[in-house]
Structure 1
């Protein structure tokens, strides 16, 4: 069995778990009052850096529509929180990462944690108010 099949199965199970958890929040905002204010104060949304072709995570179809697992998760997050996301295309993942690091975009949806990206996030987390993606977690209950 190749690594692709277990990875695909794991991703599918993760997607189902997240969707099931979101179904429990039906009619209830998953955001704190402070987070809801932030969303309201940012009606233009958040720019998401997207590499042109990184299936199955993200790609653009022939009509220019953002698609893939990341696009599906972003759509679900938008639906549950009201936060708008604006995909911004880049030719490849390296350009997307540069745009993220320069502040041209605020989010890179399909960012894998590699040894080199871990070094970037560790060095940036010392000077940034935003924690690296792998360590962003809520430690207190929602209000």
Structure 2
């Protein structure tokens, strides 16, 4: 009798395991290897994700302190596809996000640029959106017509952003003032503390509309676009593999209108088109 019960238990267990495997593969519409399936099924804790703080409309917080934005919508879709929980870790600044990624305190970083200097601690997925960086100045500043007119001016940029290295190398005589995030830099620019700011077109459009800023204009593009990826800790190749497959499996039609909250990104596109007449997307 005991042997029969044990046999029934084993058969039931195998049936359940097979059902779970089929659910992972069929419901998520991705093909995982046996090792990848075992990995996501045996995770003992949530995957820790670090968004880019203060980067609307891509990554930012709502009135309740919850992270929202386009990248967060991607994280939710990937989580549903893999059937795993993702823990969003709130980190004060982008520089701190990079530091915690280097110290292996987070598993994933979203909304991040793939640059060689980060390869020792992160592996990067394919980009899921492309956004140009632009030069923003006050409307009263008629001297600045492009990125080449900033010599001798105080130019704000976010500390830790890859575009800072680009500007420093291409324009070594420029004076960059590093700020915590886009909101801080743009507000100080609006009040005359800076002469210009390097910022993504999507973010400046969103902030100008949200805070009804009327004294700023876009002077031109920087020549260095954001090709935003997901960065996965380099010491976990199985996690990188399943995240890449899940991201690649998202249909093209959903990559702008991402999840039920896609209106946020469409709203940003509307602002960009209305205020500046141009926008770029894949």
- In the superposition, the TM-score normalised over structure 1's length comes to 0.62
Q: Distance in 2 between matches of 1:55 and 1:26?
A: 34
CA deviation after TM superposition for structure 1 residue 129, in Å: 4.0
CA deviation after TM superposition for structure 1 residue 57, in Å: 1.5
2:211 corresponds in structure 1 to: none
Corresponding position: 1:95 with 2:96: yes
Q: Distance in 2 between matches of 1:34 and 1:107?
A: 20
Q: Distance in 1 between matches of 2:80 and 2:86?
A: 11
2:59 corresponds in structure 1 to: 58
- How many residues in Structure 1 have an aligned counterpart in Structure 2? 105
Which aligned pairs between 1:11-30 and structure 2 lie closer than 5 A? Answer: 27-30=27-30
Q: 1:89 to 1:137 in 2, by over 3 A?
A: closer
Task: Tell me the C-alpha RMSD between the 2 structures.
Answer: 2.6
Deviations 1:36-58 (A, max 9, x none): 21111114221011233111221
Q: 1:137 to 1:85 in 2, by over 3 A?
A: closer
CA deviation after TM superposition for structure 1 residue 111, in Å: 0.9
2:47 corresponds in structure 1 to: 46
- In the superposition, the TM-score normalised over structure 2's length comes to 0.33
Q: Is the 8 A contact 2:28 2:82 kept in 1?
A: no
Q: 1:124 to 1:74 in 2, by over 3 A?
A: closer
Q: Is there any run of 5+ residues in structure 2 with no aligned partner, and where?
A: 1-24, 123-233, 246-282
2:73 corresponds in structure 1 to: 72
Q: Is there any run of 5+ residues in structure 1 with no aligned partner, and where?
A: 1-24, 139-143
Q: Is the 8 A contact 1:57 1:69 kept in 2?
A: yes
| Larger helix share, 1 or 2 | 1
Q: Is the 8 A contact 1:29 1:81 kept in 2?
A: no
2:116 corresponds in structure 1 to: 118
Residues 35-44 or 102-111, more deviating: 35-44
| Larger strand share, 1 or 2 | 2
Q: 1:77 to 1:40 in 2, by over 3 A?
A: same
Deviations 1:82-134 (A, max 9, x none): 12110001111111111111011111011112xxx42231x447xx5457x8x
Q: 1:60 to 1:102 in 2, by over 3 A?
A: same
